[in-house]
Amino acid sequence: MPHPKYTTRYLVILTILLMLVSIVNIADKELLAPVAEVVRADLGMSDTQLGAVRSAVFLAALVSQLYWGPLSDRWVRKNVITLGTIVWSALTWLTAFVANFPQLLAARASMSFAEGCFNPSSFALITDSVPKRHHGLVIGLMSLTYPVGTAAALIVASAIGTAQWRQPFVIYGVIGIALGALVFLFVREPMRGASEEAVEAGAYLGRFSFAEMRRVWTTPSALLGFALDTCQATINWSLAFWAPIYFTRYRIAPNADAAALALLPAILGFVLGALIGGAAIDRLRAHTERAAAIIALIAMAGGLVAAFITFNLFEMTAVMIAGFVLGLVGYMAMPAVNIVFFSVVPPETKASTIATSNVILNLVIAIISFLIGVISDAAELRFAFSGVVLMMFAIGIGVSLGLLRTLPGDMMKQRKLVEARVNIRERSST
């Protein structure tokens, strides 16, 4: 039987609820960034140790994807989100009580492992619930929760005061536990692949297996999608964590509280970039199958120029304006990543595809975060920080050009695969 259609009211509430959980997910991960200098002094840590904590967060997230991705493709995704949200929120709350570097390292790493449940489960669930013609919009909305979550961490930390750096961990821990309960009570589990056009004619037979994942690993556009995701994520997470420290150390901002707030224009740019990127892809897809690749190329090329300008400014107002443009243009790539994935992989592998991408990007970010700290101790932060951001934008340009070539063919293969599996169901029922 075809999958039942959800009402617009339910889809709106579902999207808002998952966006709220995502905001808390990102805020929990970024709570350390605006108070990093204070925590470093309070716990007697070096830049290398600070980089190690950041790396541990991403290494734990990497390992977690090996568990959460396949589980999400095999089990009820709303239950995965519920379980993970409650556990990571409890660990966020416990972070408020750390007393030294090893405890902070353990608390942040374990929190990050539990957080790994959300990204693969939520994107797979929501794109199976919402019609495919609106995927660009809904992925754009989910993508904007990354900068909003970062802003939420910055604003709460600044409002409370960096000297009281432990309190935000308690606040977000409690909020997260409540949201996890709401997911369990409200969210409905959609049929896998339900948003594919061909599935409207019958049930989709595909089931997750590692044989299906091998199909993903041999799809050129999926591999390029992994690379694009790694580029944009490395840029954005590096900006979120190191920018407040950079603003303070180079006296662009007078203190840590002002440095945290100075990042807000860039975050506003991220929000608008996610919405514009998602909406632009939905519009362009009516004319070309290369829509996601075109938007990604615009984002990477424009972001490279904006980043170069930003790192050569040292007056706070000018940096904030340039940062807004950087966020607006560069973050248009974020919706493009998931549109690429969901256009070329079998529907039953959505969560594991995202998990695979997360493994790759978390490994890269973990290594780079540690190297930024080491190079900062040995030389200076500006060289390490700006070098990483500019390099990733340049690589992203090359990846986007590759997607322009491979995307149409891989999308055609995915459509034929889905149609064949639906047709099998129809023939077997006659």
Q: What is the pLDDT along the chain (430 residues), one digit of tens a residue?
A: 344 577 889 999 999 999 999 999 989 888 887 787 788 888 888 878 887 887 888 788 888 888 888 888 888 899 999 999 999 999 999 988 988 999 999 999 999 999 988 988 888 888 888 887 788 888 888 888 888 888 888 788 777 876 788 888 999 999 999 999 999 999 988 877 655 554 554 555 556 667 778 888 899 999 999 999 999 999 988 887 788 888 988 888 888 778 877 888 988 898 899 889 988 998 998 899 999 999 999 999 999 999 999 999 999 999 999 999 999 999 999 889 989 998 898 877 887 888 888 888 878 887 887 888 888 888 888 888 999 999 999 999 999 999 999 999 999 988 887 777 665 444 444 4
Instruction: Output the domain CATH number for residue 357.
Output: 1.20.1250.20
Cα–Cα distances (Å) from 5 to 14, 75, 76, 125, 189, in that order, read: 14, 21, 19, 14, 12
Q: Which domain holds residue 228?
A: 8-428
Q: How many CB atoms lie within 10 A of CB 284?
A: 17
Q: What is the predicted pLDDT for the residue at 194? A: 58
Q: Answer whether residue 395 is part of any domain.
A: yes
Q: Answer whether residue 290 is part of any domain.
A: yes
Contacts of 41 (CB under 8 A, 6+ apart): none
Contact 240/330 with Cβ under 8 angstroms? no
Strands, E assignment, 170-213: none
Cα–Cα distances (Å) from 149 to 14, 144, 277, 371, in that order, read: 18, 9, 19, 25
Contacts of 122 (CB under 8 A, 6+ apart): 18, 21, 22, 77, 81, 142
Q: Answer whether residue 3 is part of any domain.
A: no
Contact 372/242 with Cβ under 8 angstroms? yes
Q: Answer whether residue 2 is part of any domain.
A: no
Q: Which of 187, 156, 184, 161 has its CA nearest to residue 172? A: 156
Strands, E assignment, 213-352: none
Going 31 to 256 to 43 to 376, the CA torsion angle's sign is positive
Q: In total, how many domains does the chain have?
A: 1
